[in-house]
Amino acid sequence: MTAIAIPDRVVPAPIMATVNATVAFGAYLLFVGQVSKSELWTGGGLALAVAGWTIAARACHARMLGIGADHLRPWLLALAGLPWATLRTAGVLVAALFGRQGPGATVSPFVHGPADAAGDNGRRATAVLAASLAPDSFVVRTPQGEDKVLVHRLVAGNAPDPRWLT
């Protein structure tokens, strides 16, 4: 795996909060389409909220993520499967109108890996986000230390890859 380990503490929290707040403020002004006193106040409030959220999130947990090229495949599979998953979900929802239920919560195998390994942290994050992207399923819980994941499914599907949940 060609991974880039991103240590959480490389950039100090106040600098990262300032960068995030500046980007949020600029993006807000760009998308609002006008600059007025009320828009500046709203953008400033958004910037303060983003800065506070950044500092709070970084204070909660310091963990390294390893992101690599192999993380692209689950995202491409999830995005490519969106149209078909949407149609299957629509079918299940129509069937639910007539009293038929989907499979509901299922337990799937999922390789957690060590909690202190940057590559496994990045893989877990990518796998859970990609698996939750589909309209027909989302990850409910990944019990720490257990090689399984609780997934709520509207449509019964194939057993996912235990490393990527796709």
Per-residue pLDDT at 2 exceeds 60:
no
What is the pLDDT, as a whole number, of residue 7?
54
Q: What is the pTM of this model?
A: 0.63
Q: Who has greater pLDDT, 79 or 64?
A: 79
Other CB atoms within 10 Å distance of the CB of residue 124: 22
Give the per-residue pLDDT at 135.
84
Burial class (CB in 10 A: 0-12, 13-18, 19+), 67: buried
Is residue 163 over pLDDT 80? yes
For 17, 28, 36, 48, 56, the CA distances from 42, given in Å and listed in that order, are 18, 9, 10, 10, 21
pLDDT, position 35:
92
Q: Which residues lie below 8 Å from residue 66, measured CB to CB, with a gap of 6+?
A: 1, 3, 4, 5, 6, 117, 118, 119, 120, 121, 122, 123
Summarize pLDDT for 67-126 with one digit per residue, the tens: 778 888 888 888 888 899 899 889 888 888 888 877 777 888 888 888 778 788 888 888
For the segment 4-45, what is each residue's pLDDT rounded down to a tens digit?
445 545 677 888 899 999 999 999 999 998 899 999 999 999
